[in-house]
């Protein structure tokens, strides 16, 4: 099986400032490789169990995810990592366990983007993509897999299948539509022009669960606090 030159870094899912590779390259390659992982895992579940929800719905979303990141790689001349996941993945023997794997994978994915966005602030377009993909995992994929654990474990798949499939189709495209205000927020974060009123207005949004998963979850409350403290200090000087 062919390996990537930075295989250990990719498997670790975290940027290493001491690694002999540009930070931008690390961010994009790590993100792509993890989205490859999700895609190949869910594809293998479908190979074993058929077109079952939520895997059949989320698989298409994962494809959109890595394609969005590959666009970033092309723009910034970053080599796309080798997708060698197919030979590395073994799926469980029950759908309940497969959904549990999905839950764990999406939690890891969300945590990965928490790390990556800290190193992507100089590239607003990449930062925007990372926020959007993390939002899709937080708001759509993770809840879908958690429902899958409950449904398949309870033996009521037939009674809930329609509802379950409908709830899991809020994919990457839906998330983009919901995040129209995020691009401007990202730009302000990147330029250091985030004000108290910006944060207050964003936090007063009716879509508070989305904000918790994207803004506070992605950049961290500590980052917001530091920015506000810095602004207060500057205004007082």
pLDDT value at residue 154 = 79
The secondary structure of residue 206, as a DSSP letter, is S
3-state DSSP call for residue 80? coil
Q: Which fold, 20-174?
A: Ferritin (1.20.1260)
CB 82 within 8 A of CB 3: yes
Give me the half-sphere count of Cα atoms (radius 13 Å) on the Cβ side of residue 173: 6
pLDDT value at residue 172 = 42
pTM for this prediction: 0.69
Per-residue pLDDT of 209-232, as tens digits, reads 344 444 444 444 344 445 444 544
pLDDT value at residue 192 = 58
Per-residue pLDDT of 70-101, as tens digits, reads 999 999 999 999 999 998 999 999 999 999 99
Q: Where are the domains of the chain?
A: 20-174
CB 178 within 8 A of CB 207: yes
Least confident of 61-70, 149-158, 199-208: 199-208
Question: Closest Cα partner for 81 from 21, 141, 18, 126?
Answer: 21
Per-residue pLDDT of 107-136, as tens digits, reads 999 999 999 999 999 999 999 999 999 999
Question: Closest Cα partner for 35 from 52, 51, 13?
Answer: 13
- CA dist 172 and 136 (Å) reads 6
């Amino acid at each position: 099986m062919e390996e990537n030159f930075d295989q250990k870094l990719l498997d670790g899912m975290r940027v290493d400032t001491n690694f002999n590779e540009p930070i931008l390259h690390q961010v994009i390659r790590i993100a792509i490789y993890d989205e490859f992982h999700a895609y190949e895992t869910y594809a293998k579940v479908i190979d074993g169990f058929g077109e079952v929800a939520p895997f059949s719905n989320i698989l298409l979303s994962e494809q959109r995810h890595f394609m969005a990141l590959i666009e970033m790689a092309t723009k910034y001349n970053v080599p796309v990592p080798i997708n060698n996941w197919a030979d590395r993945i073994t799926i469980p023997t029950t759908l309940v366990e497969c959904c549990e794997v999905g839950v764990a994978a999406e939690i890891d994915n969300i945590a990965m983007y928490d790390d990556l966005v800290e190193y992507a602030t100089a590239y607003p377009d990449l930062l925007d993509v990372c926020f959007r993909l993390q939002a899709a995992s937080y708001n759509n994929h993770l809840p879908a897999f958690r429902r899958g654990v409950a449904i398949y474990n309870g033996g009521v798949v037939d009674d809930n299948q329609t509802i379950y499939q409908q709830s899991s189709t809020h994919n990457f495209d839906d998330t983009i539509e919901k995040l129209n205000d995020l691009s401007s927020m990202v730009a302000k974060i990147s330029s250091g022009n985030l004000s108290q009123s910006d944060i207050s207005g964003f936090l007063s949004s009716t879509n508070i669960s989305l904000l918790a998963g994207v803004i506070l979850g992605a950049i961290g409350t500590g980052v917001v606090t530091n920015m506000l403290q810095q602004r207060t200090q500057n205004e007082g000087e």
